[in-house]
Amino acid sequence: MRKMLIWLPLVLFLGFFGLFASGLLKPDDRLITSKMVGKPLPDFTLPPAASDRPALASSQLATGKPRLLNIFASWCVPCAAEAPQLMALQKAGVEIDAIAIRDARTDVDRFLGRYGNPYARIGLDARSAVQIALGSSGVPETFVIDGEGRIAYQHIGDIRADDVPMILDRLRNAQ
């Protein structure tokens, strides 16, 4: 027993070494997922963010049909990159509402004029209050909202072309 004990420090060292090495080699995961997925949307009422689209309130999102809620901003570069994918989703018959974060109406108008406007309604969240209430940690993010107004899925980052079928799948599953 005593003789075995002498190996204990080495075993401990190897154990910690393995632990740290695996931590270092594991790819960095900095995505903060919302814990609101599966829960009903928080209540909010936002003023309109664009001059040719109506404002947005949480009550308008429970329509009996799954829809997308896109969190974007005119000052965000990846948001411009995902615009063609949102246009494609809208053409496929998906209803998309949006919340513009820390934005101004003239900037949103210019952004939509340049990259297209796939949105039915756009609310302006000037102080990120609704973004925080949603548990969203940045732009762009896209939430799948089911027919009863519950958050079914959260997509973090821009929607790439190869994400589109997956988003359509999520919408179908949220039915």
Determine how many CB atoms are found less than 10 A away from the CB of residue 81.
Answer: 15
Among 137, 148, 149, 157, contact with other proteins (rule: CB under 8 A): 137
| Site map (CB under 8 A) of other proteins, residues 44-73, x = contact | -----------------------------x
Determine how many CB atoms are found less than 10 A away from the CB of residue 88.
Answer: 16
| Site map (CB under 8 A) of other proteins, residues 72-91, x = contact | -x-x----------------
Give dist(CA 139, CA 141) in Å, integer: 5
Nearer to other proteins, 89 or 144 (CB): 144
Residue span binding other proteins (CB under 8 A) among the ranges 57-65, 130-138, 147-155, 166-174: 130-138
Buried b (16+ CB within 10 A) or exposed e, 14-45: eeeeeeeeeeeeeeeeeeeebebeeeebeebe
| Site map (CB under 8 A) of other proteins, residues 17-36, x = contact | -------------x-xxxxx
Among 54, 78, 84, 138, contact with other proteins (rule: CB under 8 A): 138
Query: If residue 111 lies in a helix (H) or strand (E), which one and from where to where?
Result: helix 105-115
Does residue 48 contact residue 112 with C-beta atoms inside 8 Å?
no
Shortest Å distance, C-beta 81 to other proteins: 17
| 102 belongs to the binding site for other proteins (CB under 8 A) | yes
Backbone torsion region of residue 74, taken as left when φ is above 0, otherwise alpha when ψ lies between -120 and 50, otherwise beta: alpha
Which residues of the chain form contacts with other proteins (CB under 8 A)?
Answer: 30, 32-36, 73, 75, 101-104, 107, 126-129, 131-135, 137-138
